[in-house]
Chains A and B, each alone.
Chain A
């Protein structure tokens, strides 16, 4: 891997709610190189979005509490940077596309105003203030980049006047303005149709290719992840449990959860659908001790219930956190 851009080390995040404390992130470790594209997959509620929001420091606190661990971005500890650097990170370096484009655009401002703001403050941060005319010009260019028809008119529209696909492309446009180093895309195509989703993913792929931006793509559509990324990390109940090159992960998954997950995707070639994985995500207030997948795991051993497995190398760039592979790897 090239030089590390982002390094998440042992991140623990809890949510304090009325019923108790939800111990969601249970020591997340994830590393991302410059220009690298990774996918983060896992069931709804496994902590993907929580992890990503921690990177931008936009987790609502309370109820969230960062219990431990750190996130290094270009060597800077994100939880301890000064406000100036944080602004710089958010305006120039890192940006995020959210799942629901409707909820991430302000309904009472026109598209042009919202997009214009992102461009204006990004440029200010970079020390090259732009005039109103230049901002307008840039907005139009950016909307053209994301293949939106008639950009001048769009700038004068409110989000509600546009279709879901168009709104999502506007969010992508806004995110790309301020994502010079890292783009986090949280299920960007989930709410879109197949052909439009395909367009959006290709668009993200092309744009990051041009700028050399690193990408974290969150999705539970495994196929979509496969098309765009180099490496895939699988998350289960607050832990990254497998991390490998995409070819290895999809052809030779090791963790029982990854196997189940890949297995449960219906195949275009037919042949019926496997039952998937029985059971559901654990209760985060009182999560199972040891490996959190142990109650659902078909290969559970006694050690699994006692302590949390750490990453083991199971090949070049193939890490898995499962006791099944412990002995082989140590030899």
Chain B
């Protein structure tokens, strides 16, 4: 493989496209995006709903087969195969936690059954399973007597903890977290995020973290990418992303966040008044997809699509201003 240069990233996504055909036309949910995830890091994807964050995660995880592009995992290409054809070995390495624990846990199964399934599928011997299940519950600080309870009998935060421990059951190296706390109250959020970060340190997981909450993203991600209408517009290390945003869309996004304290207010870029609607993904604008809402739009933006350039080390922007 040519791309295994110095240190292999854990996951490498190259020119990934995922289109859906609908009655209204072709939806370009993910349109030509590339990014890497290193071992032990948290790569965050932010963007508004319909920007393609979840589709990206689903395609990487193998729920969807990509329309075009390649996905490499530990240097092996895993993109051409459909999910049913991905080997168990790879599926074991990549797991996912969904947004709403209420619907991602089977209401008719006990917590024990829920946690047992991945172990059974991945061939853990029966006598070891019980021990492993208890250990999994301990990881997320849930008491042992939860084993016989059903999802309905425990709180929303606890349900998400079960979903997290289920994802960790197969000892994966990459976990996609699709808005893991957005269905929960703020007061629960801290506990879940801190548990995730603690387990990441302990087991060296890599996270693909998806959220629309930028304040939350600031506190979890090592690197952040921002998506808009299926395109990745800016990728930068977290501190740089928040302190020195370059793309007009990132500026608009950051300046729209409602914050509480004065320090945060100071950190925000100069107010960019957000205008316009997110265009329909079936009928994306020409040139740069953001030009309809951009406050720095010029003629070239309407005509030509910008390309991703590395403006500063590790800081990539896809905008004509920087070309």
Contacts and interface: CB of A to CB of B under 8 A. Distances in A.
Interface of A: 43-44, 149, 163-166, 193-199, 201, 220-227, 250, 260-262, 264-278, 280
Interface on chain B toward A: helix, strand, loop, or mixed SS?
A: helix
A261 B260 contact: no
A221 B48 contact: no
B239 A250 contact: no
Contacts of A270: 218-219, 238-239, 242
B213 interface: yes
Q: Which of A193, A222, A266, A268 has the most CB of B within 10 A?
A: A268
A212 B55 CA distance: 44
Contacts of B218: 266-270
B309 interface: no
Given A193-B49, A271-B219, A163 B264 contact: no
B321 interface: no
A264 B186 contact: yes
Query: Which one of B49, B155, B259, B260 has the greatest number of beta carbons of chain A within 10 Å?
Result: B260
Contact of B260 (A166, A222, A260): A222
Contacts of A265: 186, 215, 260
A269 B256 contact: no
B267 interface: yes
B312 interface: no
A307 to B, nearest CB: 25
A262 B190 CA distance: 12
A250 B214 CA distance: 20
Nearest 5 A/B pairs, CB to CB: A223-B258, A193-B48, A276-B190, A198-B256, A195-B274
Nearest to A147: B275
Nearest to B157: A280
B215 A149 contact: no
Nearest to A149: B277
B278 interface: yes
Interface of B: 48-49, 155, 157, 185-191, 193-194, 212-216, 218-219, 238-239, 242, 252-253, 256-261, 263-264, 267-268, 274-275, 277-278
A269 B268 CA distance: 9
A267 B218 CA distance: 8
A268 B90 CA distance: 36
B48 A195 contact: yes
A223 B216 CA distance: 13
A163 B268 CA distance: 28
Most chain A CB within a 10 A radius of its CB, from B238, B253, B258, B277:
B258
Contacts of A195: 48, 252-253, 256, 274
Contacts of B212: 193-194
B244 to A, nearest CB: 14
Contacts of B252: 195
A261 B186 contact: yes
B264 A267 contact: yes
A222 B275 CA distance: 23
A269 B212 CA distance: 17
Contact of B278 (A196, A223, A276): A196
Given A226-B258, A264-B187, A275 B194 contact: yes
A224 B213 CA distance: 13
Nearest to A274: B190
Contacts of B193: 266, 273
A276 B257 contact: no
B189 A227 contact: no
A194 B219 contact: no
A268 B259 contact: yes
| Most A C-beta atoms less than 10 A away, residue of B242, B253, B277, B278 | B277
A149 B213 CA distance: 27
Nearest to B238: A270
Contacts of A250: 260-261
A262 B219 contact: no
